[in-house]
Amino acid sequence: MAKRRAHRAKGFKSKAQWRYFFANPKLRRYARKKAHATKGPPKIRYRRLPARKGPPGARTARKRRRR
């Protein structure tokens, strides 16, 4: 019988991804494990992530430009 490997969660890549996982009901079940897998000490994990990796996608809220 083949051995089964345990899947390790990869951490969040950005604050935008972190917020999206906790806000989306379908992804919320994975959010806590992914948050714990994010690199860094417990109180600093979220703070050290970049705000966004790349441009906003089609489903993300965008800030309005001031004229």
* Tens of pLDDT, residue by residue, the chain (67 residues): 677 777 788 999 999 999 999 999 999 999 999 999 999 998 899 999 999 888 877 776 666 677 7
Residue 39 contacts residue 12 (beta carbons within 8 Å): no
Identify the residue whose tokens are 């714990």: 36
What is the reported pLDDT for 17?
A: 93
What is the reported pLDDT for 1?
A: 67
- Reduced to 3 states (helix: H, G, I; strand: E, B; else coil), residue 38 is coil
Neighbouring residues of 49: CB distance < 8 A, sequence distance ≥ 6: 12, 13, 14, 15, 18, 38
Distance CA 38, CA 8 (A): 11
Give 64's DSSP letter: P
